[in-house]
Copies of this chain bind each other. A is one copy, B any other.
């Protein structure tokens, strides 16, 4: 997998079984979903649970980090791309997608483990970030840019798109990580987006603006 010996050259002998790769990766995902942390994952136990020889695992991956790298690559990128109706509806769909994704045990387990290793394993984090976060974020960015272009959002929003994205996605992601119990609310995405838009639309006439007491 990570180190296929011959490229596409006529390889001799018995070929590697693709079923083994799947079995190992599926087992890791299952264990993570069941609450095992990265640290508690052992090559030994993974091999045992997958019904696979330990040497077979080491033949494919030199160690746990390399295996985890492939596990992250295996969680498929989301199709997403709401790109449909009104800005409001698309934003709601986008936030709702985040909410649902982080409610799923597997995604949640991956996220929490990756957050712990954000600093200690930059390579792992990089892979996770680009697989799981960047696509969603790009979708959201395009939505906001379109909103600005069509005059539905204040022009200043385009100047710091990162902040705008965090203003609308931050609340749900905060709950996803710190208060998962408050994530059940089905109307959450809608209420967040409406609130966000209230401060994001062009001001008609008298702008309230920062008022000092």
Interface residues of chain A, those whose CB is within 8 Å of chain B, are: 35, 37, 39-40, 85-89, 112-113, 115-116, 118-120, 133, 152, 160, 162-163, 166-167, 169-175, 177-180, 182, 188, 191-192, 194-201, 204-206, 208, 210-213
Contacts and interface: CB of A to CB of B under 8 A. Distances in A.
Contacts of A89: 212
Contact of A120 (B35, B152, B204): B35
Given A170-B173, A205-B205, A211 B163 contact: no
A120 B170 CA distance: 24
A185 to B, nearest CB: 9
B167 A115 contact: no
Given A88-B210, A170-B174, A205-B205, 4 more contacts: A133-B178, A163-B192, A194-B210, A199-B200
A68 B116 CA distance: 17
Nearest to A36: B120
7 contacts: A35-B119, A112-B116, A133-B178, A166-B171, A167-B196, A170-B172, A177-B178
A188 B160 CA distance: 11
A169 B179 CA distance: 13
Nearest to A166: B171
A112 B113 CA distance: 9
A208 B188 CA distance: 20
Contact of A196 (B119, B199, B206): B199
A171 B200 CA distance: 15
Contacts of A88: 210-213
Given A35-B119, A116-B115, A208-B204, A167 B182 contact: no
B37 A116 contact: yes
Contact of A115 (B133, B162, B177, B197): B177
Contacts of A39: 37, 39-40
Nearest to A188: B163
